[in-house]
Amino acid sequence: MKEPRYLVNDPYTADPSAHVFNGKIYIYPSHDIESGIPENDNGDHFDMRDYHVFSMESIDGEVVDHGVVLDVKNIAWAGRQLWAPDAAFKNGKYYLYFPLKDKNDIFKIGVAISDKPEGPFIPQENPIKGSYSIDPAILDNGDGKFYMYFGGLWGGQLQRYRNNKAMECGAEPADNEPALCAKVAALSDDMLEFSEEPKDVVIIDESGAPLKAGDHDRRYFEGPWMHKYKGKYYFSYSTGNTHKLCYAIGESPYGPFEYKGVILTPVVGWTTHHSICEFKGKWYLFYHDSKPSGGKTWLRSIKVIELNYNEDGTINTIDGMI
Ligand code: FUB
Q: What is the CATH number of the domain that holds 147?
A: 2.115.10.20
Give mean pLDDT in consecutive 10-residue pieces for the chain, a chain of 322 residues: 91 97 98 94 94 98 98 98 98 98 98 98 98 98 98 97 90 96 98 98 98 98 98 98 98 98 98 98 98 97 98 98 96
pLDDT at res. 169: 72
Probe residue for ligand 1, chosen from 13, 45, 154, 271 as the CB with the greatest number of ligand atoms within 8 Å = 271
Residue 115: inside a domain? yes
Residue identifier of the C-alpha nearest atom 5 of ligand 1 = 84
Contact (Cβ atoms closer than 8 angstroms) between residue 95 and residue 88: yes
Confidence (pTM):
0.98
Residue 26, Cβ neighbours under 10 Å: how many?
A: 24
Does ligand 1 lie within 6 Å of residue 222's CB atom? yes
Residue 312: inside a domain? no
Contact (Cβ atoms closer than 8 angstroms) between residue 158 and residue 145: no
Residue identifier of the C-alpha nearest atom 4 of ligand 1 = 271
In terms of Cα–Cα distance, which of 318, 205, 308, 313 is closest to 272?
318
Q: Is 39 a catalytic residue?
A: no
Residue 286: inside a domain? yes
Residue 157 falls in which region: left (phi positive, over 0), alpha (psi -120 to 50) or beta? left
Probe residue for ligand 1, chosen from 31, 134, 287 as the CB with the greatest number of ligand atoms within 8 Å = 134
Does ligand 1 lie within 6 Å of residue 134's CB atom? yes
Does ligand 1 lie within 6 Å of residue 30's CB atom? yes
pLDDT at res. 170: 85
Residue 109: inside a domain? yes
DSSP 188-223: PTTSSSBSS--EEE-EE-TTSPBPBTT-TTTS--EE
Residue 152: inside a domain? yes
Does ligand 1 lie within 6 Å of residue 152's CB atom? yes
Does ligand 1 lie within 6 Å of residue 86's CB atom? no
Residue 22: inside a domain? yes
Residue 15: inside a domain? yes
- Where in the sequence is the domain holding 214, given as residue range(s)? 5-307
Each residue of 226-256: b (16+ CB within 10 Å) or e? bbeeeeebbbbbbbbebbbbbbbbbeebbbb
Residue 90: inside a domain? yes
The number of domains in the chain is: 1
Q: Is 125 a catalytic residue?
A: no
Distances (CA, A) of 212 to 43, 141, 172, 206, 224: 24, 29, 11, 13, 18
pLDDT at res. 235: 98
